[in-house]
């Protein structure tokens, strides 16, 4: 599914060159649930940008679904992001003046999906995160946890190859965090590949595998022995029907 070989990312500021990533090899199989951990400055955000095709590596190969995307540029990257990747951000990043359903429809708008199908799929996605009764609310009218769930619905609505979440619980309280993680576990159970960047160990314990970053390279790669199961009221109501 995801294969990284010798990925390097070097930023040049004048004469000074800073290596954010210095040769990373990583293999993530389909339907894995991985968390990337590391202190700030470890290169995990750069890793996230490259995995999400927001940025390209200076050196190395990145195979996503069998195609090398390391050399893609501009609009080609936009198409890859649109078709293969679903983003969930720490700050939710929903369009403020737009309703929940319109936010979820947005990636399909750029994929050229017709308006009727768009709406139907957006409703299904919102129902699957337990927000079937909030589709016409604007982000302002939703709690932080609900906003993040809208963002997750937006990420999964295109059936992407991977869902990338950058500190998805960073702005949430414990209860909302657990709700969000419960949704991720549910999505994982139904076959989605999910990669989460986090610096909270207890959040990482909800995943199957933890990759540790330090100073631009992978320091450790471990399987979570005692995976925690997130429980959430909302899922029992919203999805289990």
Partner 1 sequence: MNFFESIRVSLRALRANKLRSALTMLGMIIGVAAVIAMVGIGNGATASITSQIQGLGSNLLTISSGQSNAGGVKGGAGSSNTLTMADADKIEVGTAIKAVAPVSSASAQVVAGSGNTSTTITGTTQDYQIIKNVSIASGRFITTADVDSDARVAVVGPTVVTNLLGDANATIIGKTIKINNVPFQVIGVTTATGSTGFQSSDDMITAPISTVQERLIGKKTVRSILVSATSADFMQQAQDQITVTLEETHKIPTGKPDDFTVQNQADILASMQGVTQTLTMLLGGIAGISLLVGGIGIMNIMLVSVTERTREIGIRKAIGAKSMDILLQFLIEAVVLSVLGGGIGIALGYGGSSLAGAALKMSTSISMTSVLVAFGFSAAIGIVFGVFPAKKAASMDPIDALRFE
* Contact between 148 and 126 (Cβ < 8 Å): no
Of 14-22, 76-84, 190-198, 213-221, the window that binds partner 1 (rule: CB under 8 A) is 76-84
The least CB distance from residue 74 to partner 1, in Å, is 6
Q: How many Å apart are CA 223 and CA 10, to the nearest integer?
A: 30
Q: Which is nearer to partner 1, 14 or 74 (CB)?
A: 74
Q: Which is nearer to partner 1, 154 or 186 (CB)?
A: 154
83 contributes a contact to partner 1 by CB under 8 A:
yes
49 contributes a contact to partner 1 by CB under 8 A:
yes
82 contributes a contact to partner 1 by CB under 8 A:
yes
Q: Which of 44, 81, 188, 209 binds partner 1 (CB under 8 A)?
A: 81
Sequence-distant (6+) residues with CB within 8 A of 145 are 172, 173, 175, 176, 177, 179, 180
Q: Which of 12, 97, 116, 191 binds partner 1 (CB under 8 A)?
A: 97
Q: How many Å apart are CA 19 and CA 235, to the nearest integer?
A: 42
57 contributes a contact to partner 1 by CB under 8 A:
no
Q: How many residues does the chain have?
A: 241
The least CB distance from residue 70 to partner 1, in Å, is 16
The least CB distance from residue 221 to partner 1, in Å, is 26
Kindly report the backbone phi and psi dihedral angles of residue 170, in degrees, each rounded to the nearest multiple of 5, phi listed first.
Answer: -60, -30
Question: What is the full DSSP assignment across 160-226?
Answer: -SEEEEESTTTTS-HHHHHHHHHHHHHHHHTT-EEEEE-S-HHHHTTSSEEEEEETTEEEEEEE-SS
Instruction: Give me the residues that bind partner 1 (CB under 8 A), please.
Output: 49, 52, 54-55, 74-75, 78-79, 81-83, 87, 89, 93-98, 106-107, 109-112, 154
């Amino acid at each position: 599914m995801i294969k990284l070989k010798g990925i390097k990312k070097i930023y040049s500021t004048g004469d000074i060159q800073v290596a954010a990533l210095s040769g990373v090899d990583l293999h993530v199989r389909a339907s894995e649930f991985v968390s990337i951990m590391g202190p700030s400055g470890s290169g995990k955000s750069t890793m996230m940008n490259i995995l999400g095709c927001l940025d390209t590596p200076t050196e190395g190969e990145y195979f996503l679904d069998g195609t090398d995307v390391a050399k893609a540029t501009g609009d080609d990257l936009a198409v890859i992001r649109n078709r293969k990747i679903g983003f969930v951000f720490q700050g939710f990043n929903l369009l403020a003046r737009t309703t929940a359903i319109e936010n979820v429809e947005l990636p399909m708008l750029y994929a050229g999906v017709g308006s009727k199908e768009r709406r139907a799929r957006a409703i299904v996605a919102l129902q699957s995160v337990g927000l079937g009764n909030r589709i016409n609310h604007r982000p302002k009218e939703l709690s932080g946890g609900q906003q993040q769930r809208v963002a997750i619905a937006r990420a999964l609505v295109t059936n992407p190859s991977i869902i990338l979440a950058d500190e998805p619980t960073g702005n949430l309280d414990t209860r909302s965090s657990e709700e969000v993680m419960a949704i991720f576990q549910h999505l994982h159970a139904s076959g989605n590949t999910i990669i989460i960047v986090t610096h909270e160990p207890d959040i990482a314990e909800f995943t199957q595998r933890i990759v540790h970053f330090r100073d631009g390279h992978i320091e450790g790669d471990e399987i979570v022995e005692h995976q925690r199961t997130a429980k959430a009221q909302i899922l029992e109501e919203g999805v289990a029907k």
